[in-house]
Amino acid sequence: MTKENVQGAGEDEQQAQSKKALKKQQKEAEKAAKKAEKQAKLAAEQQEADEDDFAKDRYGISPMVQSQQKLDRALVRVQDLTPEKAEQQIWVRARIHTSRAKGKQCFLVLRHQQFTVQALLAVGDRASKQMVKFAANLTKESIIDVEAVVKKVEQKIESCSQQDVELHVERIFVISQSEARLPLQLEDAVRPEGEGDEEGRATVNQDTRLDNRVIDLRTTTSQAIFRLQSGVCQLFRDTLINKGFVEIQTPKIISAASEGGANVFTVSYFKTSAYLAQSPQLYKQMCICADFDKVFCVGPVFRAEDSNTHRHLTEFVGLDIEMAFNYHYHEVIDSITDTMVQIFKGLRDRFQTEIQTVNKQYPSEPFKFLEPTLRLEYKEAVAMLKAAGVEMGDEEDLSTPNEKLLGRLVKEKYDTDFYVLDKYPLAVRPFYTMPDPNNTKYSNSYDMFMRGEEILSGAQRVHDAQLLTERAMHHGIDLEKIKAYIDSFRYGAPPHAGGGIGLERVTMLYLGLHNVRQTSMFPRDPKRLTP
Amino acid sequence: MPMYKVKPVSPGDIKIDLPACMYKSPNIHAQGMNCGDHALQNGGVDPALERLEGRQDEVLRRLYELKAAVDGITKTVTSPDADLDVSTGSRLPAESVFRGTADLDSLLGKDLGALRDVVINASPGRPPLSLLVLHALLCQRYQVLSSVHVHSSVSAVPPSLLSCLGPRHTDSYARQRFQLGFTLIWKDVSELQMKFNTQSMCPIEGEANVARFLFRLLGAGPQDPVAATQMDCWIDTAVFQLAEGGSKERAAVLRSLNAALGRSPWLLGQEFSLADIVCACCVLRAGQASSAPVNVQRWLKSCQNLGHFDCVYPLLQ
């Protein structure tokens, strides 16, 4: 190619370049112009906004509460917002359950624990447009302080718990803001399973709930379940204290596995290792030998069973009882069943709201029981099962499906969800169970069932050191490991019996729920260690 | 011509050491076979099978007999010119199922090891007085484990209802020692209900029907169907007209009671029966005892003297 051509081409290129550059410049100019326009507009709007916002000091995000000042302000609970407070101006602290803007109005539903109330913010002489916009944009679950006037409503607000009143908001401040994206929606978490499938709306599955337990525990159902569980614990304590029992605390780090070495957690203990207690059994009995006569203890129990079922946890709260008796271990059974009946009665009489709340999401039959508690013998149970077509041996242990079937048969005949099965075969019970004096194949042991599932396993304990040694050898247990246990019976031990229940399981079965993780706040199972 | 004989290669009875994994089967060519097997192979019948067939024939025969008896009764009842005069006593064969002696096994079915427990659900507002009397009678005849429970549907029950079955048996912790269980549950039910064997029986409702069931356990019922019908008639009168009827009906019943008791000491004649129990309880519950006619009062006194009604009087206050 000749120079001229190159030059020509270069010139063309230059010309093309300049054309391109021109176009580019033009575009940039347009962009800049548009931007300037927008900014001008925003500035104008801002000015407008600032101009019109007469309510600027009646809303906003409060600075973080670092205990800067002591405000002498009484906050009313949502629970207490009733028609009696009509026309009063009060402050309320609650969470934003939902917020919905409609033109010049904003409807908020405020929630505190199980109680919700509707709040209304309308553009008027007290609230500006910006204030309503601010309220509508608040994220769900944020904690806010609201000053409002309580107003009576003619038509009941069905969707709230406080149905007769509504709040007309004057001031609204954010105390703690929540992130915009919640890992789960509370309405979804409270929706019953069937309803979710039918209407195509979401329900939250268990793993998501357990991973985000803090939010899941805020739902009305969870609040009701755990308040009821607290009631169970309290009724247990109160009833036993009234019967003259003493509450004891037993150690959880122990040197020897009590019920066989398979299901214990090992912890490193300085230069050796120790175990986490599977049950307070040994220590309860030692207290009886130490003349405390009637003891109970409430504490964690650790079972390293790799069973991923609906009713097993690796750590749960055990409510254990041990009692010395005069002549017959039925005295202890009567005491334990009476305690359980008092707990059921207390729940029936004082926790109906909680039971109804749980039933809304998890419908179930109310819990029925007899007073005094029904007591059947193991032989009768086997006969009932055989009559119903089950094939089993006379000394066989009851399998889980058989237990459930037996529960149904007992329910059909006696209409009770709670009963005791007495005189289990000796072969299926631990080595410290006292054998039946009249029939060596059976033992003085019993199980209690709720809704066909076992909640308590108990027995008269062997209180004689020699018999205990024989039974331990019969079961092939290393005597060295349980030497301390056997020693406690060598210096005079009263005849005694007892048993223990699991708090979570009892709550689950009382409410008719189907998974023990629903009644354990932060459950532990072979697959879950957090939260 | 002599035939060619082959000398035996091996003697007939060599002992062979068989390894343990082989087993011997009987020699089918040997003589002296079992005649029984022979018979089987010839199309004969196994004796066990024969017995089974015999039992089946027996059951069928009894069924036909029963059917014939029922047909006979239907004919006499439905045909208007039947020459059976009911008032002069029965000429029908008394094919009584219980044959006079009441054995619990034959009445209720074989005991499989479970205590035969009669469960009665009653409302505390209307205690079943006749059932309490029957309970006392049952206790005299059998070893009965009685227990009273309060169901969770009822919040509280007066103490007299809790002890209406008498003091707790000293052996009550050993359920196996009893022949019959009597469990009374105070429950919020509209109609009194009894459950016995939920697998094979539906619940029985109504105090009168449960009373009939329990009375049969005593085995003391009138064998004669005419008397049995009269008894049923008195029971129904008591339950429908005396207990639930208006004052006019009650007065009418009391008059007919008076008339019947003028002729004999008890309602069915010379023997105390379920009719007396149910009627007396209904009269007592209606509060008509003091204002009743002379014969009725005398009869109530006789009932009381028998001693079975002691459990009822504390509940009448």
Burial category of A125 from C-beta neighbours within 10 Å (exposed 0-12, middle 13-18, buried 19 and up): exposed
Which two tokens mark A408? 């149904």
Percent of all residues in chain A with a pLDDT value above 70, rounded to a whole number: 93
Cross-sheet strand order for the sheet of A253-254: A253-254, A272-276, A266-269
| Range of lowest pLDDT (A490-494, B181-185, B215-219) | B215-219
Decide: B245 and B279 in contact? Cβ < 8 Å.
Answer: no
Burial category of A275 from C-beta neighbours within 10 Å (exposed 0-12, middle 13-18, buried 19 and up): buried
Model-level ipTM above the cut of 0.95: no
Percent of all residues in chain B with a pLDDT value above 70, rounded to a whole number: 83
Chain B residue closest to A411 (CA)?
Answer: B198
Cis amide linkage into residue A531, ω under 30° from 0: yes
Distance CA A440, CA B168 (A): 28
Note whether B149 contacts A370, CB cutoff 8 Å.
Answer: yes
Q: Count of residues for chain A? A: 531
CA distance from start to end of chain B: 122
Q: Which residues of B make CB contacts under 8 Å with A? A: 112-115, 117, 119, 121, 147, 149-153, 155, 173, 175-176, 183, 185, 187, 195, 197-199
Counting other chains too, the contacts that B247-250 makes at CB distance below 8 Å and 24 or more residues apart are: B250/B286, B250/B288
Which is more confident, A327 or B225? A327
What's the mean pLDDT in A171-188?
88
Answer whether residue B91 shows pLDDT above 50.
no
What's the mean pLDDT in B149-178?
84
Distance CA A523, CA A315 (A): 8
Q: Quick one: DSSP state of residue B269? A: B
pLDDT digit string, tens, across residues B35-54:
445 545 555 667 888 889 98
Residues A478, A484, A487, A492, CA torsion sign: negative
Burial category of A522 from C-beta neighbours within 10 Å (exposed 0-12, middle 13-18, buried 19 and up): middle
Q: Which residue in the set A328, A383, A387 is minimally distant from B173, CB to CB?
A: A328
Q: Quick one: DSSP state of residue A419? A: E
Decide: B183 and B119 in contact? Cβ < 8 Å.
Answer: yes
CA A120 to chain B, closest CA, distance in angstroms equals 44
Which residue ranges form the domains of chain A, and what is each CATH number? 73-176 (2.40.50.140), 186-218 (no CATH), 221-519 (3.30.930.10)
| Range of lowest pLDDT (A31-40, A368-377, B147-156) | A31-40
E strand or H helix that includes residue A102: strand A89-102
Which two tokens mark B69? 């008896």
Distance CA A401, CA B272 (A): 50
Note whether A382 contacts B113, CB cutoff 8 Å.
Answer: yes
Give residue A436's pLDDT: 93
For an interface test with A, the pick among B173, B189, B200 (most A C-beta atoms closer than 10 Å) comes out as: B173
- Domain at B225-306: CATH code: 1.20.1050.130
Note whether B112 contacts A383, CB cutoff 8 Å.
Answer: yes
Q: Please report residues of B whose CB lies closer than 8 A to that of A413.
A: 117, 119, 195, 198
Q: Please report residues of A whose CB lies closer than 8 A to that of B118.
A: none
Give residue A196's pLDDT: 63
Give residue A519's pLDDT: 93
Give residue A323's pLDDT: 95
The 3-state secondary structure of A484-526, one letter per residue = HHHHCCCCCCCCEEEEEEEHHHHHHHHHCCCCHHHHCCCCEEC
Answer whether residue A4 shows pLDDT above 60.
no
Q: Please report residues of B whose CB lies closer than 8 A to that of A372.
A: 147, 149
Give residue B31's pLDDT: 59
Answer whether residue A296 shows pLDDT above 90.
yes
Beta bridge partners of A321: A296, A499
Look at residues B237, B213, B233, B215 and name the one whose alpha carbon lies nearest to residue B286.
B237
Answer whether residue B87 shows pLDDT above 60.
no
Answer whether residue B33 shows pLDDT above 80.
no
DSSP E strand boundaries for B172-243 = 180-186, 193-195, 204-205
Beta bridge partners of A246: A295
Decide: A397 and A351 in contact? Cβ < 8 Å.
Answer: no
Q: C-alpha distances in angstroms, A437 versus A323, A326, A420, A441? A: 20, 16, 20, 10
Note whether A376 contacts B112, CB cutoff 8 Å.
Answer: no
Task: Give the model's confidence band at B98: pLDDT under 50 very low, under 70 low, under 90 confident, else very high.
Answer: very low
Within its chain, how far is the Cα of B137 from the centroid? 15
Task: Give the model's confidence band at A176: pLDDT under 50 very low, under 70 low, under 90 confident, else very high.
Answer: very high
Task: Give the model's confidence band at A415: pLDDT under 50 very low, under 70 low, under 90 confident, else very high.
Answer: very high
Distance CA B312, CA B317 (A): 10
Decide: A451 and A417 in contact? Cβ < 8 Å.
Answer: yes
Answer whether residue B106 shows pLDDT above 80.
no
Distance CA B258, CA A503 (A): 64
Beta bridge partners of B122: B186
Answer whether residue B113 shows pLDDT above 90.
no
Any B CB within 8 A of A398 CB: no
Give residue B43's pLDDT: 58
pLDDT digit string, tens, across residues A239-274:
999 999 999 999 999 887 656 556 889 999 999 988
Give residue A346's pLDDT: 95
Any B CB within 8 A of A441 CB: no
Distance CA A396, CA A378 (A): 10
Task: Give the model's confidence band at B81: pLDDT under 50 very low, under 70 low, under 90 confident, else very high.
Answer: low
CATH topology of domain B110-218: Glutathione S-transferase Yfyf (Class Pi); Chain A, domain 2 (1.20.1050)
CA distance from start to end of chain A: 77
Answer whether residue A11 shows pLDDT above 70.
no
CA A425 to chain B, closest CA, distance in angstroms equals 15
| Range of lowest pLDDT (A27-31, A233-237, A275-279, B29-33) | B29-33
Task: Tell me the H-state helices in B3-127.
Answer: 35-41, 47-78, 104-108
User: Which amino acid type is present at position B277?
Assistant: I
Chain B residue closest to A347 (CA)?
Answer: B152
Q: Which residue in the set B115, B176, B185 is minimally distant from A370, CB to CB?
A: B185
A100 φ, ψ (degrees, to nearest 5):
-140, 125
DSSP 3-state of A96: strand
Domain ranges of chain B: 110-218, 225-306
Distance CA A506, CA A20 (A): 80
pTM of the predicted model, to two decimals? 0.77
For an interface test with B, the pick among A348, A371, A444 (most B C-beta atoms closer than 10 Å) comes out as: A371
Give residue B89's pLDDT: 41
What's the mean pLDDT in A341-363?
93
Give residue B316's pLDDT: 79
DSSP E strand boundaries for chain B = 117-122, 144-151, 180-186, 193-195, 204-205
Give residue A45's pLDDT: 66
Decide: A263 and A313 in contact? Cβ < 8 Å.
Answer: no
User: Which amino acid type is present at position B150?
Assistant: V
Answer whether residue A68 shows pLDDT above 50.
yes
Give residue B95's pLDDT: 29
Task: Give the model's confidence band at A19: pLDDT under 50 very low, under 70 low, under 90 confident, else very high.
Answer: confident
Give residue B90's pLDDT: 40
Note whether A371 contacts B149, CB cutoff 8 Å.
Answer: yes
pLDDT digit string, tens, across residues A185-237:
888 888 887 766 666 777 788 888 889 899 899 988 999 999 999 999 999 99
Look at residues A97, A92, A127 and name the one whose alpha carbon lies nearest to residue A110.
A97
